[in-house]
A and B are shown apart, each in its own frame.
Chain A
Amino acid sequence: MAEATNPPRGDVDEGKRDFIYLLGGAAGVVGVGIVAWPLIDSLNPSADVLALASIEVDVSPIEVGQAITVTWRGKPVFIRHRTVEEISEAEVVPMDVLRDPQTDEERRIKAEYLVMVGVCTHLGCIPSGQKVGEEKGEYGGWFCPCHGSHYDTSGRIRKGPAPTNLVVPPYEFIQDTVVQIG
């Protein structure tokens, strides 16, 4: 072939030359790394999504014995204003009958308001039992129609395939009757 010419390596300072190559290469790699970050970070949750990461809910309109469903981070959150009977029912359950032992106290901040993510821990269906007249399951709490999981009035799994209790999201009462979820 027309062989490319490569003149002999003269008496250039090889140490200096190698250093400059190394520096150039390193700077190039750093540059690519710096450029990569914004590109990757752009796929992280954006400001408008993060702005909805926490919601405030006024629970005062919920009458005793009723429940509401609010949407938080794309999932339903159940807030039930429990009756005295429901609370005492939940409190007296012995731990050894529970698949996922948790006391009612551990699952609530104020006894009358139970706040839970309304997603069955089995395979992600939404349990029924929120509205008046809906199937509440054998334990008076919630019932998942997909595979028949029964939750009690504290949202704990009592019967059926679900492995754990309904998840309690991070929340706090920022006012007497205002809950901030997330």
Chain B
Amino acid sequence: MSSTSSNGIGSGVIKWIDYRLPIFTMMNKELNEYPTPRNLTYMWNFGSLAGIALVIMIVTGILLAMQYTAHVDMAFDSVERIMRDVNYGWLIRYIHMNGASFFFIVVYIHIFRGLYYGSYKAPREILWALGVIILLLMMATAFMGYVLPWGQMSFWGATVITNLFSAIPWGIGDAIVAWLWGGFAVDNPTLVRFYALHYLLPFVIAAVAVLHMWALHRFGSNNPLGIDAKGPQDKISFHPYYTTKDLFGFGVFFIFFAAFIFYAPNYMGHPDNYIEANPLVTPPHIVPEWYFLPFYAILRAITFDISIPFTGIVLIDAKLGGVIAMFASIAVLFVLPWLDSSPVRSGRFRPYFKWFFWIFVIDCLVLGYIGAMPAESPYTEIGQVATAWYFLHFLVILPLLSRLERPMPLPASISEPVLGGGGMAAAPARSPEGASGVSTEQSPETMR
């Protein structure tokens, strides 16, 4: 590529390597020059934060794996040995424990940002779908990781969640559950395979994250206005602008993270997980980790059989219905780009969408709250309404809105509102180091 020489990357050795493996060219292009909309807000920090969270989890996880014993008789004590005897073991474990929660906090904010600004819309559908896959992988990883300390919640969480599959009729479900367990209950084989998968999946997440970034860099980041860049004045190089901004974001993130690790390390955990697993005693209330609560609420919302009216023929019993609803609540995200067909991406210019977005956020919070409550009146009813609204939002409101809503006029370009209508005037192009790759965001015709 001509950009290597024109940008004068490195000298001697670097050049020699780069000629054979253009990794420096690639890094320069994707991390340094990478043209990024100039108007990204701090809401765009959460992607890189998710990345650093993944790195933290993998590093601490590998160290914990070197001390952990995956056996039902020893797992609990081996974790306590890490907490008590291993040098800084408590620190590493608390980082890993709270890191899971923070990973989800960051990723959820990242997702809601995407929802508000329409980051899932063309041409970013695959980027979005890859993100949903990452979310699914994260959930699987977190769930299996939570089993490893072999506390009461570990055991009973594993039992309840794996039992979901038994909802599948005709004996298939039971066969699947036995296969998952490797036995007739959650036991040692289950623990060991969960350990193996818990170690494996983060690397799969990392791989999908690479695809996610690849897809991102194809068209570049969306932005708060949701409009495409019209020319060079709309973009700035990733470095130093967004590298420094991301670093600042890391700092803020670490402050919150450290506050929890050092002063409330068990706040987001459940006390019952400090009791060793006992297959003969169920805790009075089994609650999943907070980041699963909304989905848990959806699972429990289906308390009724779905049958053909007036015939009494049950099509889907309540148990299977709950499982289907829970998986559907994530599956619906995959088709979101086609449910919301409004040509306007950003919620800023969609007067009604904006309101429904915030109602949806509240709905998710309500679901989270209900997920933590016992399955009794009035929580069940509230959960059912909230679940109905969740699906209504995606399946009815968004398709209707995109047809009925009249969006506000869009600004002419990204730099216009930034520069107070000054257009190009205030943005001289970067020094003429030549075209370093082609941004696919706009065809040459649209360039000025």
Instruction: Judge A-B direct contact (beta carbons within 8 Å).
Output: yes
Closest to A47 in B: B85
Q: Verify if B437 is at the interface (C-beta below 8 Å from A).
A: yes
User: Which of B88, B429, B430 is A38 in contact with, Cβ under 8 Å?
Assistant: B88
Quick check: A43 and B66 within 8 Å, CB to CB? yes
A12 to chain B minimum Cβ distance, whole angstroms, is 13
A14 on the interface (CB 8 Å rule)? no
A47 to B67, CA, bound (A): 13
Q: Which of B86, B429, B431 is packed against the most chain A CB atoms within 10 Å?
A: B86
Q: Separation in Å of the A55 CB from the closest CB of chain B?
A: 18
Cβ proximity bits B58-87 to A, threshold 8 Å, 1 near / 0 not: 011001001100000000000001001111
Known: A39-B59, A46-B81. A3 touches B87 (CB 8 A): no
Question: Do B427 and A7 touch across chains, with their CB atoms under 8 A apart?
Answer: yes
In Å, the complex CA distance between A58 and B302 comes to 69
Q: Which of B207-262 contact A (CB under 8 A)?
A: 229, 231-238, 247
A1-45 with Cβ < 8 A to chain B: 1-8, 24, 28, 38-39, 41-44
- Specify which chain B residues have a CB less than 8 angstroms from the CB of A2 in the assembled complex: 35, 229, 231-232, 234-235, 439, 441-442, 447
B92 within 8 A of A: yes
Residues of B near A39 (CB, < 8 A) are 59-60, 63, 88, 92
CB of B91 within 8 A of chain A? Answer: yes
Please give the distance in Å from B190's CB to the nearest CB on chain A: 27
Q: Do B84 and A5 have beta carbons less than 8 Å apart?
A: no
Q: Complex formed: what's the CA distance from A150 to B431 in Å? A: 81
CA distance A44 to B60 in the complex (A): 15
- List the A residue with the shortest CB-CB distance to B431: A6
Residues of B near A24 (CB, < 8 A) are: 247
Contact B236 A6 (CB under 8 A): yes
> Known interface pairs A39-B63, A43-B66, A46-B81. Does A3 touch B89 (Cβ–Cβ under 8 Å)?
no
| Chain B residues, Cβ within 8 Å of A4 | 33-36, 232, 235-238, 430
Q: Which residue of B lies closest to A41 (CB)?
A: B87
Is B13 interfacial (CB-CB < 8 Å)?
no
Contact B438 A8 (CB under 8 A): no
Cβ of B409 under 8 Å from chain A: no
What's the nearest-Cβ distance from chain A to residue B34, in Å? Answer: 8
| Bound: A133/B237 CA distance, A | 82
CA distance A38 to B96 in the complex (A): 14
Minimum CB–CB distance for B254 against chain A, Å: 9
**B309: interface (CB < 8 Å):** no
Asked if B438 and A7 make an inter-chain contact with CB atoms under 8 angstroms apart, the answer reads no
Which residues of A are found within 8 Å of B234, using beta-carbon distances? 2
Q: In the complex, are the beta carbons of B428 and A46 less than 8 A apart?
A: no
Q: Tell which of B87, B435, B437 touches A42, judged by Cβ atoms closer than 8 Å.
A: B87
Residues on B with C-beta less than 8 A from A38 are: 87-88, 91-92
Contact B86 A3 (CB under 8 A): no
Whether the pair A46, B35 counts as a contact (CB closer than 8 A) is: no
Inside 8 A of B101's CB, which chain A residues have their CB? none
B48 at the interface (CB under 8 A from A): no
A48 within 8 A of B: yes
Q: When A39-B59, A43-B63, A46-B89 are in contact, do A3 and B435 touch as well, CB less than 8 Å? A: yes
Q: How far is the CA of A165 from the CA of B334 in the complex (A)?
A: 72
Task: State in angstroms the CA–CA spacing of A38 and B93 once bound together.
Answer: 12
**For A28, what are the chain B residues with a Cβ–Cβ distance below 8 Å?**
247
Whole-angstrom CA separation of A49 from B236 in the bound complex: 55
A47: which B residues are within 8 A, CB to CB?
84-87
Determine if B86 and A42 form an interchain contact, defined as CB atoms under 8 angstroms apart: yes
B159 at the interface (CB under 8 A from A): no
Separation in Å of the A25 CB from the closest CB of chain B?
10
Q: Does B436 contact A (CB under 8 A)?
A: yes
- Using A2-B229, A2-B234 as known contacts, say yes or no to A48 and B85 having CB atoms under 8 A apart: yes
Q: Most chain-B Cβ atoms within 10 A of its Cβ — which of A3, A46, A48?
A: A3
**Please, which residues of chain A bring their CB within 8 A of the CB of B437?**
1
Shortest distance in angstroms between B267's beta carbon and chain A's nearest beta carbon? 21
Task: Please tell me if the beta carbons of A1 and B428 are within 8 angstroms of each other in the complex.
Answer: no
Q: Report B-chain residues with C-beta under 8 Å of the C-beta of A6.
A: 236-237, 430-431
Question: Chain B 421-448, CB within 8 Å of chain A: the 1/0 string?
Answer: 0000011111100011111011000010
Given contacts A4-B33, A5-B427, A8-B428, contact A42 B232 (CB under 8 A): no
Q: What's the Cα separation between A6 and B229 when bound, in Å?
A: 16
From 133 to 169 in chain A, residues with beta carbon under 8 angstroms from any chain B beta carbon are: none
The residue that B439 contacts in the complex, of A1, A8, A42, with Cβ under 8 A, is A1
Residue of B nearest to A5 (CB): B427
Across the interface, which residues of A come within 8 angstroms of B89, CB to CB? Answer: 42, 46
Q: Given the complex of chains A and B, what is the CA–CA distance between A141 and B2 in angstroms?
A: 77
Bound form: Cα–Cα A42–B36 in Å: 40
Q: Which of A5, A6, A42 has the most CB of B within 10 A?
A: A5
A49 to B81, alpha carbons, bound, how many Å?
11
Give A167 Cβ to nearest chain B Cβ, in Å.
28
B160 to chain A, nearest CB (A): 33
In the complex, besides A3-B35, A42-B63, 13 extra interface pairs with C-beta distance below 8 angstroms are A1-B438, A1-B439, A2-B35, A2-B442, A3-B232, A4-B236, A4-B430, A5-B235, A5-B236, A41-B87, A44-B87, A46-B89, A48-B85
Residues on B lying within 8 angstroms of A by beta carbon are 33-36, 38, 59-60, 63, 66-67, 81, 84-89, 91-92, 229, 231-238, 247, 426-431, 435-439, 441-442, 447
7 contacts between A and B (CB under 8 A): A2-B231, A2-B442, A2-B447, A4-B36, A5-B233, A42-B89, A47-B85
List 8 tightest A-B contacts by C-beta distance, closest first.
A38-B88, A4-B237, A6-B430, A47-B85, A2-B439, A48-B85, A3-B232, A46-B85
